[in-house]
Structure 1
Amino acid sequence: MVNLVLSALSVVASQSKAKFLHRLDQIEATQETFLRSLLQAYQNTAFGQEYRIGEIKTIDQFRDRLPVQPYSAFDPYTQRMAKGEPNILTPDPVIYINLSSGSTGHKKLIPVTKRSRRFVSRANQAALGFLVGAARRSGRPLGKMLLPLSVKPLGYTESGIAYAPVSTSDLRLGNWFYRQIFTYPFEAVQISDTKTRYYICLLFALRNADLRVIAATFPVLALQLCEHLEANADELIQDLETGEMAHWLKLEPELRFKLEQQWSAAPDRADYLRQVLHSHGRLLPKYAWPDLSFMVTARGGTSNFYFDRFPEFFGDTPIFGGTYACAEGVLGVHRDFNTDSVFPAIDSGFFEFIPEDQWEVKYPKTLLPWEVQVGKRYRLVFSNYAGFYRYDLGDVVEIDGMVGRAPLMIFRHRRGGVLSASTEKTSEFHVTQTMQMLQQAFNVTLENFCITLSDDAIPPHYLVNIELAPGETLSQPDLFLQKFDDILQEVHAFYAIKRRDQIPQPRLRILESGSFARLRYHLIQNGMAESQLKFPHVSEDRQFLNDLPIVQEVRLAGDC
């Protein structure tokens, strides 16, 4: 059955990829057709009538009629939709609401309809086609996948519409066909308790010696999966040997019954894993599944910082980025293993790009995909079947190349994800580059880091907050701090300019082991979904890390 499903998926996905590439060759006509169809289909909605979008005939008219707007402009409409009011942004009934992580402010409500899901599916299918091609070229077989997400909604609106992160809604609304690729019963992802869900998903995955794929929404979640595997190794192996399930698991009686019905002992596999644990001292994915074909997780942005740790846990397993997506829609399609750049998802959205010299303009002028320049950075603007028009998410992308008239773009950071002691605007991309170089230079591994600002000086000091990975030491913290300052000046020209006579010296804070785990727990307790949890690597919130204990604070000479 699994082989039949995978074969069918491969055929359909490869066809979708071919269609996508054909449309990409005609990107101008494809984008114009997409926009015209969107406006025609949605012209009688409340938003469509307000802006008279049915009168729009050309791309230029569209850009003249509708302003570039952030989510706040759409919030009153989505609130009405959440209350059950029909025909507001979309003419179709809302079947679900995607909840954003709130990284750009308060949580956002993104309406999902059957039609909007179909257009998202186009990009997902194309990405799967690129993945199938990459796997074939490298001789890596397809197979079962481990992805311990939850399908439980976070709650319901007053009109009864379920809401959850986009990863949850995708899994929950996916059809039976796609569920067959998971290495555990669907009941496993219906478990509410995170620790229990990870345990059960790992338990079924460990039984499968031929697991081929590990997936995670973000790289940090893949590392957390490894933590769960190591922490529960002995008990997982014991359950594999006996065919039982640990008594401490927080399972509803009905779920436990269904899972136990599908669970049985695998003593030979347990013996093998026990030997692995004994010989290596740790149970890691690269030992448990030495024939793992590839991983799927988000690329671009700050992912490379976490990818530096992947070889320890996953060996040289290649990484595919899937789609570049957000709660509002799919923005890009990845094309190969171990690459960060994506094609715009031209079948799923209409795209515009705001040049840097327009970022502070109230009504910015935009460029179309075929008008951008390689090496330049832009803010991405899109319109799609979720009912958003000229929507400025705040994502900053860099153009990596052109394929014909179509750009290849890399997500760098989100607007607002910057730090300024003066006016230098240090981004997550800048500090991630710096930390990667520091780890290599000092042969040290960081668990995580976040750069904040001090509150005892004007302009403030940069506070370099780091947590060392287990077993790591930093023998020359003062030299590490000096090197941080030097490298950041190399990778960020405006920081270098401001450091000459405005920004004071940075300070290093080494945090207690487990600090970021405690911060993660605190954020989840305050309502952030674990699947959407992205630690900011820069924050202007000076209280963000206040409750984390500092083991050592280091200052440079002359910093009194």
Structure 2
Amino acid sequence: MKTNYGKLGQESMNSLKDTLERAADVQLQLLAELMCRNCETVYGKKYGFGEIRTAGEFQKKVPLSVYGNYADYILRMIAGEERVLTEEPAVYYCISSGTTGDAKYLPLTETDLKIQYTYAYGVLFGMVKEYYRDLPEEEVFGKIFQIGEFAKTYMENGTMNGIRSGCVYQWLDRDGKFDAGDYCVPKEVLFPDTLEDLLYVKVRFALAEGELRAIHGVFINRAAGVMDYIWRNWEMLLRDMEHGSVDECVGLSPRWREYVERKLPPNPLRAAQLRLLSHETLRENMIKKIWPKVRYVLAIGGKSFAHYTKKMKEYAGDIPIHPYAYAASEGIFGIAEKMDQPDRYILFPEAGFFEFLPLNEGQVEENRPLFMWEISTGERYELVFTNHSGLYRYCMGDVIEVIGWYGQAPIVQFCYRKNQVINIAGEKSNQEQLAEAIKRFAFCMRCEVMGYCVQEDMSDLLPRYQFYLECTDINSSGAEDILDDCLCRVNYEYQGCRKMNEIGKVRISYLRAGSFECYEEHLAKSGKQMGQHKQACILDTAEKKQFFAAQENSYRKIREIPKDHVS
């Protein structure tokens, strides 16, 4: 399948703009279709889908739900039972770790995948085309460096499974006819038959491709990590390119080592070309230096990924970054409003049926979730979502803020996840507040925080927050007082708890350089797919806590070695 990106992008953009102008009607029609289509399913019969005629009746008859309400139904589907949650069969199961670390399986229908293909895949090419409207398409679209993982994996019943970001690609290749000619790696690298860290392999192919036009990722921390990898291993990569070899330090299986040496013979000409770039000045605008024809980078960044967004902009220079989509395993909810504008996502009406639970109980009687046509700019809501694949009135736990409108559809900013909070005495510090506190702390300390995470510490007389920080050029004197003050300023409940002596002053443990990169390597080695990995923030599992405690202890041991024992 060779894709005409200009045509796909234009058609997808036209469809999006049409639905945004009549979002309310599209939403009501979609709800009616879902109720009618699924009225004979096990779930539909239980809640009387066949009798539902209005959005109000839908809210009265169908309860709000979470994953636990579906787990047994999904197991029945996996076992082969039909018409359980949807009339349409599942063709893919998204695997999500969830907030507790337990695996969740979320079904996807073909209808859902077609909508994702149009709006979360096709529209981005339309936006790129509009951004470069004065250039011919052949100068805009070309070879893509896809850094995501699309290993082909299956449920026991033969249905495809994997992470959400890989589902469209696996679905497009369901009959084996996907043409990977648009990518800088061969198809067997794009779709490996087993899950293995192939970053080195992808980078080698990407560096060999001088005509690269785009870099695609999911989250910007992963994209920036790939650029870091290239910068750190520059000499080794060029040496391997020149000789057609694979360095001994590269952690590849014998099979993939042999593959790289066979597929990438010595290329001294390209290696010499890249060696003209000074490594000392390579980091700034690195992408354009290595690949002069790259037109855009695709990666979700913004406020929640402030450090990595800044780092990626350093690598990208004036190359625009497309912030991609607002999405989760449960659905693709929105598409970035524009190129190079993070944290602004248009909720597209065909994604599913949206409801918005007010955070302020006084906003509506009985705290009833509002519909798309009832919400207001400047207000925050918890997202409630009904998708095409069997989730009905599903409480996402995402808090979003309406910051504008495109036609009749809201433009939203993701704020934080309700269940991702650290809470010792009712203060409920969320991710947004923690990120703002760290930002203020870095400014006050005149340092850069490369990464941070936090957990509750119950080991002392007063419970407190335990922060793990990976910093540059920090003078630790007074740092805990400053961070504690920053937390008080961003969270008045925390400030009150401190004044009432219900919470002790924060404790900071400093991590050695590269600790968060080590965590990503740890996840990859344990078999986790990295395409959707976000930086650890709140340590909510024993595994996460043990890992970062070990990083701290290792750093402490290094610092405590007497100077006369250092060679």
Verify same fold: TM over 0.5.
yes
CA apart distance, 1:300: 4.9
Counterpart of 1:201?
202
Counterpart of 1:67?
63
| Conserved? CA contact 2:148–2:166, under 8 Å | yes
- Which digits, 9 at most, give the CA deviation of each residue in 1:478-500, with x for residues without a partner? 34333322333333333233332
What CA distance in whole angstroms lies between the structure 2 residues aligned with 1:160 and 1:436? 47
Counterpart of 1:130?
127
Counterpart of 2:112?
116
Counterpart of 1:556?
none
> 1:14-53 to 2 correspondence within 5 Å?
14-53=10-49
| Conserved? CA contact 2:117–2:168, under 8 Å | no
1:298 maps to which of 280, 283, 300: 300
SS at match of 1:549: helix
CA apart distance, 1:220: 1.5
2:218 paired with 1:217: yes
Aligned-partner residue type, residue 147 of structure 1: Q
CA apart distance, 1:528: 3.2
- Which digits, 9 at most, give the CA deviation of each residue in 1:357-393, with x for residues without a partner? 459x9x9520112222222211101111111111112
| Conserved? CA contact 1:305–1:435, under 8 Å | no
CA apart distance, 1:336: 0.8
What CA distance in whole angstroms lies between the structure 1 residues aligned with 2:88 and 2:540? 40
CA apart distance, 1:95: 2.2
- Return closer, same or farther for 1:17/1:458 CA change in 2, 3 Å cut-off: farther
- Return closer, same or farther for 1:458/1:408 CA change in 2, 3 Å cut-off: farther
2:184 paired with 1:183: yes
Structure 1 stretch displaced more, 405-414 or 104-113 = 104-113
What CA distance in whole angstroms lies between the structure 2 residues aligned with 1:24 and 1:225? 36
- Which digits, 9 at most, give the CA deviation of each residue in 1:374-417, with x for residues without a partner? 22211101111111111112111111123343211111222211
- Return closer, same or farther for 1:434/1:404 CA change in 2, 3 Å cut-off: same
| Conserved? CA contact 1:301–1:411, under 8 Å | no
| Conserved? CA contact 2:399–2:416, under 8 Å | yes
SS at match of 2:381: strand
CA apart distance, 1:265: 4.6
| Conserved? CA contact 2:93–2:159, under 8 Å | yes
What CA distance in whole angstroms lies between the structure 1 residues aligned with 2:75 and 2:66? 15
Structure 1 stretch displaced more, 439-448 or 268-277 = 439-448
Counterpart of 1:438?
441
What CA distance in whole angstroms lies between the structure 1 residues aligned with 2:282 and 2:357? 52
Aligned-partner residue type, residue 205 of structure 1: A
**TM-score for both structures, normalised by structure 2:** 0.86
- Return closer, same or farther for 1:104/1:120 CA change in 2, 3 Å cut-off: farther
Counterpart of 1:354?
357
| Conserved? CA contact 2:218–2:300, under 8 Å | yes
- Paired residues in the alignment total 540
- Which digits, 9 at most, give the CA deviation of each residue in 1:412-438, with x for residues without a partner? 222211111211111111111222333
Report the identity percentage: 26
2:327 maps to which of 325, 328, 344: 325
Counterpart of 2:529?
529
> 1:417-496 to 2 correspondence within 5 Å?
417-457=420-460, 459-468=462-471, 472-475=472-475, 477-496=476-495
Counterpart of 1:101?
97
| Conserved? CA contact 1:321–1:334, under 8 Å | yes
Structure 1 stretch displaced more, 413-422 or 537-546 = 537-546
**TM-score for both structures, normalised by structure 1:** 0.87
| Conserved? CA contact 1:300–1:412, under 8 Å | no
- Return closer, same or farther for 1:511/1:94 CA change in 2, 3 Å cut-off: same
CA apart distance, 1:180: 3.7
- Return closer, same or farther for 1:406/1:86 CA change in 2, 3 Å cut-off: same
CA apart distance, 1:221: 0.8
CA apart distance, 1:269: 2.1
- Which digits, 9 at most, give the CA deviation of each residue in 1:325-353, with x for residues without a partner? 11121111112123211111211211000
| Conserved? CA contact 1:130–1:334, under 8 Å | no
What CA distance in whole angstroms lies between the structure 1 residues aligned with 2:306 and 2:267? 37
- Which digits, 9 at most, give the CA deviation of each residue in 1:46-75, with x for residues without a partner? 211221212211111111110111111111
Counterpart of 1:557?
none
What CA distance in whole angstroms lies between the structure 2 residues aligned with 1:541 and 1:260? 41
What 5-or-longer segments of structure 1 have no aligned partner? 554-560
SS at match of 1:448: strand
CA apart distance, 1:138: 9.8
- Which digits, 9 at most, give the CA deviation of each residue in 1:290-336, with x for residues without a partner? 44322111235622232122234333432211121111211111121
Aligned-partner residue type, residue 185 of structure 2: Y
- Return closer, same or farther for 1:172/1:466 CA change in 2, 3 Å cut-off: same
- Return closer, same or farther for 1:506/1:345 CA change in 2, 3 Å cut-off: same
CA apart distance, 1:511: 1.6
| Conserved? CA contact 1:166–1:327, under 8 Å | yes
2:270 paired with 1:269: yes
1:55 maps to which of 51, 57, 70: 51
Counterpart of 1:334?
336
2:405 paired with 1:408: no
Counterpart of 2:166?
168
What CA distance in whole angstroms lies between the structure 2 residues aligned with 1:457 and 1:375? 41
Counterpart of 1:365?
368
Aligned-partner residue type, residue 473 of structure 1: D
What 5-or-longer segments of structure 2 have no aligned partner? 558-567
C-alpha root-mean-square deviation of aligned residues, in Å?
3.1
- Which digits, 9 at most, give the CA deviation of each residue in 1:65-91, with x for residues without a partner? 101111111111111112222221122
SS at match of 2:107: strand
| Conserved? CA contact 1:382–1:391, under 8 Å | yes
- Return closer, same or farther for 1:354/1:127 CA change in 2, 3 Å cut-off: farther
